[in-house]
Amino acid sequence: MEFTAEQIAGLLNGEVEGNPEIIVNKLSKIEEGEFQSLSFLANLTYEEHLYTTNSSVVIVDKVFNLNKAVKDTCTLIRVDNAYQSFTKLLEIYNKAKNNKTGIEKQSFISESASVGNDIYLGAFAYISDNAIVGNNVKIYPQTFIGDNVKIGNNTIIFSGVKIYHGCEIGKDCILHAGAVIGSDGFGFAPNNENSYDKIPQIGNVIIEDDVEIGPNNCIDRATMGSTIIKRGVKTDNLVHIAHNVVVGENTVLAGQTGISGSSKIGKNCMTGGQVGITGHVTVGNNVKIAGQSGVSKNIKDNEVLQGSPAFNYKDYMRSYASFKNLSSLVNRVNELEKQ
């Protein structure tokens, strides 16, 4: 795809400084700029690259003052917020790139399934009985949609995703490759023969609107009722969410976060990588949990935590200042005892 500087400025409500007819057809970092590439400058740490870049077009803030002239081959587009404007362009580019339509050969749609308008269905994708797929849904190759699954409008489901029976996916969602939605919760009961009886998992998973699920996530179906991922949640790679968990609106979960069964996570929370949350706990709203922390009890709203078991971040840092010197303190005590 090719755009002129003038066209881009029109999309961003920006002002052109330089050649409005210059053409760009790719995106690049400002320090790695090439002919006919588009870059942006939001962090002034990289300002020097503006005067040497080979990018044909650079997006900058309207209030930014040049310290010297840019190259004659470089056109500026001035906008209210360079970072937000470049993000908007990335969104436009991504939508255009993923704007596939049509049903490819070797895919399968059950006669009892309902499929909306303008969908894309890749090769070897399978839509099962009584599934309902909305308008403008993109289902990439080798994806499985189980019986009675519901998928809202404008959702993108990348290759290899498996959505088990009865689960519901909202509109404007993105499910990345390899995610498994609705596999059985980890429910087993010990019996008298020193083995385990499987507890049937008869619930489902409900993913609300505008949720993005990372690659190779596993979200288990509820034993009864629903595992619920609320509106606006974003998850990183390799996240596991167990049966009957509820994750609140706009919460973000970094890679390898694991949430055990029946826990409730509030809205606007953040977890770092490898955070573990035990079962049947409640985490309040606006909670931040640092990487590799372990949560084993209820957490109030607005807490910031670190450690395993996790406790208040400031207290953790004060404690860390002591226990990182523990070996030297022990040596000093030993010397004092000898004396």
Active site residues: 243
Q: Is 323 exposed, middle or buried (0-12, 13-18, 19+ CB in 10 A)?
A: exposed
Q: How many CB atoms lie within 10 A of CB 4?
A: 17
Q: How far is CA 178 from CA 49, 129, 221, in A?
A: 39, 22, 17
Q: Which residues pair with 306 in a beta bridge?
A: 311
Q: Name the one residue in this structure whose structure tokens are 């953040």.
A: 270
Q: Is 55 exposed, middle or buried (0-12, 13-18, 19+ CB in 10 A)?
A: buried
**Angle at Cα 265 formed by Cα 257 and Cα 296, nearest 5°?**
65
Token pair, residue 66, equals 């040049």
Q: Give the pairing type, strands 156-157 and 174-175.
A: parallel
Q: How many CB atoms lie within 10 A of CB 272?
A: 19
Q: Name the one residue in this structure whose structure tokens are 């993108």.
A: 156
CA distance 284 to 304: 11
Q: Are 126 and 133 in contact (CB under 8 A)?
A: no
CA distance 66 to 69: 7
Token pair, residue 141, equals 């190759």
